[in-house]
Structure 1
Amino acid sequence: MRLRRSNPHAFEGINATPLIDVVMCLIIFFLLVGKLALDRGAQIRLPESRSGETDTAPDLLIINVFRTAAIDPVAAQAGSSSFVARVMVEGKQLASTGELETFLALRLAERPRTQIQLRADRELPFGLVEPVLRACARAGAKSARLAAEKPS
């Protein structure tokens, strides 16, 4: 009886299916982490608070309000520093509180259980945060939570 020998030089190739699965999982992971970093990792110095609770709402919408120096020649001559609020939601900068109100109204119509978390810079005057809160109220939000960090 004669046994056949396989050709030792024949190369069957690498099974790439597990490699593709791992790469797809990594892509999905980094997309999710990147979105969280955009929302929560914005360069905002939050106010400090000793009390409060961690917000773990499943449908959380984060509104970031940044502090931006205004270019105002009158204020510059007077020596005063003025700030302008810059509003970002889901990585998109909104031009006005009217645009924010429209966005929120559509979002709350789609998902009425959406919880709103407002992250505003600690040195931003409340007069610049108030229009954002008013836009939330006009859009139909039942509440908006202000984010703070625990002092170290």
Structure 2
Amino acid sequence: MPENSDINLTPLIDVIFQLLIFFMLASTLIKPNMIELDLPESTSGVKNQEPDLIAITYRLQDGGPVITVNTTPVTDLEALSSSLREFQRPGDETRHRVDIQIDRNVPYQNVISVIDTVRDAGFPRFSLQTLMPSSRPRENP
């Protein structure tokens, strides 16, 4: 081999272009597995309304439980149930969003009792939240 000989890159470039063309053609021939859907168009201009929020707060204050429904205090679980039933209308199960905010010091059995009361009142879907220390009402000095 002569010392000043160069490598001929023409065959390599030809092979690369052939592979490039092959992959471009092969990728367009493969159809992805997708379900074709014809979605209906809306005939009404009514937008979905956000569900109404029902906020239940359960905290321990001065050694006793304090339950509120949308800032309205209730005395016990029966009063909570009757207060929740006021929000319920027939055929209106998904209109309300129930957020249950529980103080971290509340015994777990009481949490289960509140959940059972909410379900029995006709609200099978709810969310649980832990009350943060800053969300507690301040004590008067």
TM-score, normalised on structure 1?
Answer: 0.47
Q: Which SS does the other structure have where 1:64 is aligned?
A: strand
**Aligned counterpart in structure 1 of residue 61 of structure 2, from 46, 49, 68:** 68
1:115 aligns with 2:97: yes
Structure number with the bigger relative contact order (C-alpha 8 A, sep ≥ 6) is 1
Q: Give the 3-state SS of the residue equivalent to 1:109 in structure 2.
A: coil
Identify if the C-alpha distance between structure 1 residues 103 and 143 changes in structure 2 by more than 3 Å, giving closer, same or farther: same
Which amino acid counterpart does residue 125 of structure 1 have in structure 2? P
Amino acid in the other structure paired with 1:146:
L
| Residues 122, 100 of structure 1: alpha-carbon distance in 2 compared, 3 angstrom cutoff | same
Q: Is the 8 A contact 2:104 2:131 kept in 1?
A: no
Q: Which protein is bigger by CA-based radius of gyration?
A: 2
* Aligned counterparts of 2:112 and 2:61: Cα–Cα separation in 1: 16
Query: How many angstroms apart in 2 are the aligned matches of 1:63 and 1:120?
Result: 8
5+ residue gaps in structure 1? Answer: 1-56, 71-83
Which is helix-richer, 1 or 2?
Answer: 1
Any runs of at least 4 consecutive aligned residues in structure 1 with deviations exceeding 2 A, and if so which? none
Does residue 138 in structure 1 map to residue 131 in structure 2? no
> What amino acid sits opposite 1:68 in the alignment?
Q
**C-alpha offsets along residues 76-128 of structure 1, whole Å, 9 cap, x if unaligned?**
xxxxxxxx321001211101111111111120227531010000011221122
Show the counterpart of 1:32.
Answer: none
Aligned pair in 2 of structure 1 residues 65, 149: CA closer, same or farther (>3 Å)?
closer
Partner SS state of residue 102, structure 1: helix
1:148 is displaced (CA, Å) by 4.2
Matched, 1:100 2:80: yes
User: What is the SS of the residue equivalent to 2:88?
Assistant: helix
* 1:107 aligned partner, one-letter code: F
Once residues 124 and 91 of structure 1 are traced to their aligned partners in structure 2, the CA distance between those partners, rounded to angstroms, is 19
The percent of aligned pairs where both chains have the same amino acid is 20
Q: Does 1:147 align with 2:129?
A: yes
Which residue identity lines up with residue 62 of structure 2 in the other structure?
A
Give the letter for the 1:127 counterpart: Q
Alignment check: 8 A CA contact 1:85 1:128 kept:
no
Q: State the 1:145 CA deviation.
A: 0.7
Measure, in 1, the Cα distance between the counterparts of 2:76 and 2:60. 15
